[in-house]
A and B are shown apart, each in its own frame.
Chain A
Amino acid sequence: MAVDWEKHPRLRELRFTLIKIFRNPTAVLGGILLLGFAATAVLAPVIAPPRYPDSPYRMPRKGYSPIPKPPSETNVFGTTSGQYDIFYGVVWGTRTAFKIGLFVVGFAAAVGIFLGTVAGFYGGLVDELLMRFVDVVFAVPTLVLAMAIVVAFGRGLENIMIALALVVWRNYVRVMRAGVLTLRDKDYVQAARLMGVSDVKIMLRHILPNAIYPVLVIATMDMGSMVITASFMSFVGLGAPKGYADWGQMVALARNYIVGPPEDPLRFWYTIVIPGGCIVLFVLAWNLIGDALRDAFDPRQRRR
């Protein structure tokens, strides 16, 4: 079936949004970066064939010396402290980063959208209780609360992901609920109600598509910021066991080598700059896209 982009108002707006995003050079840059990372993550087994096929996230090591070795022919990016291959870690770490971002944001957004929509739409006691609970959870900074949960559940990357998901859903509830509240009493919603459209259908077809945009923006930004927070927790030592391909842990491994010997203080730069650069570029890609989405969705800036 041929889609008529001009006739359907929602499709017309979507096309307008897409054009606006693709005309934004920073968004295109972000998109290219992201495509690069996605390709690396998908093709990881081809780019860096695992030495241990059963546990591919385990970084291969070439000995046990704590002193990092510079890039060579066998180790393109060199080895970090403990002789873990940086190239392998960076490639498989991309998968880890996507796993963290997708799981945390996916869970938090799903819970937040559901609770926010229902609470905002129905209001009443449930809404009141939920929002007071959100107030309480909001009182502790993300990192601190997540750390407390990881401590309680035990160390490990999975627990970091679960902890972050259990913390950040609060942002989505607030944003989603605020959006639903402004739409709930609009004339078109009232009209739908008068025509006997069911509550579920009103929420799904009339409210959700109009209230979802701010959520999309913060979800995009969070894909990056969750990787930052998770990598910091790995850096502190709350993450996966040593040798797991994770950018934050790779930075932690190199921590004692940020300053080289006096005659060559920057000798071990690659141990920090390569995994660290990956974190920055990954986060930057999501932020550039998020920024463009915000500009494209912002009604005050949209038609200018």
Chain B
Amino acid sequence: MGPFILRRLFFLIFVLFGVSVLIFGILMSFSPERRAAAYITTPQQAKDLPRLVRTYGLDDPFYIQYGRWVGEVAAGNLGWSLVAAQPVWTAFWMYFPVTLELNLYAAPLIIWFGIWLGTRSAIHRDDWFDHLSRVFAIIGWSLPTFLFALVLLMVFYGYFRMFPPGIIGDETALYIMNHPESFSRYTGMVTVDGILNGNWRVALDGLRHLVLPVTTQVIVVVALLMRVMRSGMIEELSKDYVITARAKGADDRTVHLRHARKNALIPVVTVAGQLVAFSMEGSIAVEVVFNRQGMGWWLAESATQLDMPVLMGMCLFMGLVFVITNLVIDILYAAIDPRIRLV
């Protein structure tokens, strides 16, 4: 397994290199002045762009500029974000916890709900439950995330006045600002910080703002998982070992959950990478609509305001997450399925 991980780490470096060249190449189509913004670290510097173009040689050939950019990134300078009015690296740590929090709640729900729905609808194949959950899945599949989020907001915020948009209510935000000594922001995640400080009011307020975003994320992403789980389970249930188990007198529960489901989970692991990608895309729409200042919101905002250093950094970050996820999936795959050996 050692050489396998080593090879994959090499692959990771290769992919990150590729992604950076690709994105750098795409963004090279901008005028040198626009690209000069990537090297700005303070608002004062923004005033003399032409000088920056000369200083940083933005008219140089591609490979020279690319080499220089890699050097900067290696030195920890990802550039200046116009949207955040902060260096990209600093801003990243401000936005990251917001997105992490959303997915920290959504991911377990997606996994649990998807596996449960898929298993049940395979066991009760062509039953009303199966039809209902398939209709649910195909509708979830057809719903654009941003639209679903808007409709939820319209109904639950507009009509029922229950779940407001944003990350945190004004009162709670003021409270946190006014009590820096008794409320420390350990993680930047509202609910987690609330619990760590033993402050239930803050935690509950954070949770109240999370209900609709998490619901949106779960319903839109769960469809894929449910579909894969269902077809895997149907296939497993028709195999010989299931008949053997039944012949030995095993009850339904043992056959379904202990034998078939375990095997049906194997193909599910392979779509985990796709689920992560969906969750990243979903976070963008969810954060834009619910006005949560996380990475997705930052990215969308950066795209409309041509904030290129952010786009560069974000593509690299997502590439990193994606490749690491796939590595973990491959290792998990071998751990779950003893027939697979990583060499």
Q: Which residues of A contact B (CB under 8 A)?
A: 26, 132-133, 135-145, 147-153, 224, 228, 231-232, 235-238, 251, 255, 258-260, 265-266, 269, 272-273, 276, 279-280, 283-284, 287-288, 291, 300
Contacts of A259 in B (CB 8 A): 153-154, 157-158
User: Are the CB atoms of A139 and B147 closer together than 8 Å?
Assistant: no
B182 at the interface (CB under 8 A from A): no
Whether, in the assembled complex, B319 has its beta carbon less than 8 Å from a beta carbon of chain A, the answer is: yes
Give bound CA distance, A140 to B86, whole Å.
24
| CB-defined contacts of B315 to chain A, threshold 8 Å | 140, 144-145, 148
| A139 with B154, Cβ < 8 A, contacts A152-B30, A287-B138 known | no
CB of B271 closer than 8 Å to a CB of A: no
> Do the beta carbons of B158 and A137 come within 8 Å of each other?
no
Q: Which of B276-314 contact A (CB under 8 A)?
A: 277, 280-281, 284-285, 288, 299-300, 303-304, 306, 308, 311, 314
Residues of B within 8 A of A (CB): 11, 14-16, 18-19, 22-23, 26-27, 29-30, 138-139, 141-147, 150-151, 153-155, 157-159, 161, 235, 277, 280-281, 284-285, 288, 299-300, 303-304, 306, 308, 311, 314-315, 318-319, 322-323
Cα distance A153–B306 in the bound complex, in angstroms: 11
Our count of residue pairs bridging A and B at CB distance below 8 angstroms stands at 135
A147-B299, A152-B26, A280-B147 known; A141 vs B138 contact (CB < 8 Å): no
A237:B150 contact, CB within 8 angstroms: no
Chain A residues with Cβ under 8 A from B22's Cβ?
136-137, 140
Q: Report whether over half of chain A's contact residues are helix, strand or loop; otherwise say mixed.
A: helix
User: How far is A228 from B223 in the complex, measured between Cα atoms in Å?
Assistant: 16
Contact of A148 (CB < 8 Å), options: B27, B141, B146, B322: B27
**New A-B pairs, 5, CB < 8 Å, besides A139-B18, A236-B300, A284-B139:** A144-B280, A148-B311, A255-B150, A258-B153, A280-B139
* Measured CA separation A279–B285 after assembly (Å): 16
Chain B, residue nearest A258 (CB): B154
| B281 interface neighbour in A142, A151, A152, A235, Cβ under 8 Å | A142
For this complex, 25 residue pairs linking A to B, each with C-beta atoms less than 8 Å apart, are A26-B138, A135-B11, A135-B18, A136-B19, A136-B22, A139-B18, A139-B319, A139-B323, A140-B315, A141-B322, A144-B284, A147-B299, A147-B300, A151-B27, A151-B311, A152-B27, A232-B145, A232-B146, A237-B304, A259-B154, A272-B147, A272-B151, A280-B139, A280-B147, A283-B142
The verdict on A139 contacting B318 (CB below 8 Å), with A147-B303, A265-B159 known, is yes
